[in-house]
Amino acid sequence: MSNALEKIIASKRLPVLFIGSGLSKRYLENYPTWEQLLDILREQIGISKPAFAAKQHVFKSKDPNITSGKLNQKMASFLQSKLLSKIENEEIDVDKLFTKEENNRCINDGVDYFKMLVAKATLTYEVIDEKNDELQKLQSISQKISMVFTTNYDLFLQREIFKEFKVYERQNKYYFRTNNGYGEIYKIHGCATDPNGIIFCENDYENFNNSLKLVSSKLINALIDFPIIFLGYSLEDENIKKIMTDFVNSFDNDILQEIKKYIILVIYEKGQKDLIEGEKQFADEGTGKAITLTTIKTDNFIEIYNYIDKLQPSATAYELRKYKTMLAEIISKEAKGEKKIFAQEIDAAKADEIALYIGNRQTVESIEKSVNIYKNEDIIKKALLNEPLDYNSFAEIWYDAKCIKSTEYTPVFLIKNRLTIPYANCGKQFKSNYKGRKQCFKTQLKIEDNICLDMVKLEEKFNVLKKIKPKSSNKYTAICIDCVNALYKDTITVEQCNDILNRLMTEFPDILSCSPFKRAACYMWYKQFEN
């Protein structure tokens, strides 16, 4: 059990993940450390191991207290200089290092040859098979994460885990543009898809450190609303130290004491199945200010994900990002003097369409009476589920607003039966659809005489259909036609037909877009109310 994670669950706030290279190394085959990546680049550029080691000794002799991070930055700059010099002096065949397209980008678009080489080394990857279950769990909780900060260049997170998140590849992109704080990945050291933006060499880090407050300000803003969990970093990671040092100087001590409850640093400890809680202090020697964070040492990352999965947000990070985008548009319109009610579907939503309604109280309270937002599939579903509908409004305005044709299968017979207004008050398209569908079922309905089905046989067909993989729309069509035949011959009742259609809709939600299904539902209501 983890008390720190239980506090995050109790807060009911979607956490921010700060992800380091340790997580990619956990899930990807042969994922290189910084030192290993430098060695790969060294070999590609044609620098011998002795020459590389000698250069390291030179830097260490000049600064005996040099950190491993600073040494790696200097070695990256050394390799960069060597590669550019070899290319300039035609001592290396660029066609062996780069594709034609990559070479053209360097020549025509100003992409740094060395950064391109770094990007190439991190673009491709293979997932470790043994970690699939754990990885799937991480994927399943992605919509319970508000934001992701990462120092990784690779595309693993955006391609395998947070597939619906918006990716910001450079500091200026995520700091100076309007963003929402939900469903977003901030790649603070750059991305392999944008080589020149990669933070890798010494001068890159100098520029990055000068603008580090941009990253810290993002973290500070995030902590106002979200807990933060660090994954894939060590206790001595220089990136974490720099960010946390700047972080502690942004708050008074009493505020730091409150904030620290919602910051957790997960540390990998090989073979450890339990979640071992401890503490780690980050302090600024100059100001003396410090913060003590909770650490969790474990190799049981799936248990960490299980805790996060306990969160029950009212909306996913993806949906919240869409809501905030819509609200920003409303505010923009207001600023321009365009005062209006705004109703918009969340674009690219995966499941049911969702709409946001903004307006004065009277308008919002009456919005339920607005039927124009519904599609035909929506009202068929509501009618089959016997959900309440404003039948009068559908008959008066919906059919006209949607330009419903006389040949479309709709709940027209059900709606007509439930009207409390005179039929004469109904819209033109409603009347046209009613007449068209009635004529169709009365004189043009084609029935296969040699087929005779009862509920038992329909049940058998339904059970067979459930087992078929992949699901076939042809099978949907067949069972829907069978329902119409059976209704026509009175071998099943309207109630039995309604039951089988509801079960089909539950088992196969996409059947609502199937014309034979809509036809079966429409004919069922014709049989119930008109025949």
The structural domains of the chain, with segments of one domain joined by +, span 3-30+126-309, 34-121, 340-370, 455-529
Preceding amide of 195 cis, omega within 30: no
List Cβ neighbours of 475 (8 Å cut-off, separation of 6 or more).
465, 468
pTM over 0.75: no
Residue 8: is its pLDDT beyond 70? Answer: yes
pLDDT class of 300 with cuts at 50, 70, 90: very high
Cα(353)–Cα(346) distance, rounded to whole angstroms? 7
Cα(120)–Cα(388) distance, rounded to whole angstroms? 58
Residue 108: is its pLDDT beyond 80? Answer: yes
Cα(219)–Cα(459) distance, rounded to whole angstroms? 57
Q: Which residue has the higher pLDDT, 247 or 219?
A: 247
pLDDT in tens, 434-451: 999 999 998 877 776 666
Supply the pLDDT for residue 92: 93
Q: What is the mean pLDDT of residues 459-471?
A: 76
Supply the pLDDT for residue 473: 57
Supply the pLDDT for residue 329: 58
At what angle are helices 34-45 and 68-88 packed, to 10 degrees? 20
For residue 522, give both structure tokens. 């429409």
Residue 333: is its pLDDT beyond 90? Answer: no
For residue 180, give both structure tokens. 């929402």
C-alpha dihedral sign at 494, 496, 498, 500: negative
How much is the CA Rg of the chain, to the nearest whole Å?
A: 31
* 306 and 275 Cβ atoms separated by less than 8 Å: no
Supply the pLDDT for residue 161: 93
Residue 179: is its pLDDT beyond 70? Answer: no
pLDDT in tens, 239-281: 777 777 777 777 777 777 877 888 899 999 999 999 999 998 8
Q: What is the mean pLDDT of residues 235-242?
A: 74
Q: Any idea what DSSP says for residue 352?
A: S
Q: What is the mean pLDDT of residues 121-144?
A: 91
Residue 382: is its pLDDT beyond 70? Answer: yes
pLDDT in tens, 20-41: 999 999 999 999 999 999 999 9
Residue 496: is its pLDDT beyond 90? Answer: yes
Supply the pLDDT for residue 262: 86
**SS3 call for 116:** helix
Percent of the residues in the chain that have a pLDDT greater than 90, as a whole number: 50
pLDDT class of 357 with cuts at 50, 70, 90: low
Least confident window among 6-10, 108-112, 255-259, 326-330: 326-330
Q: What is the mean pLDDT of residues 120-143?
A: 91
Least confident window among 89-93, 176-180, 228-232, 387-391: 176-180
Least confident window among 90-99, 137-146, 343-352, 396-405: 343-352
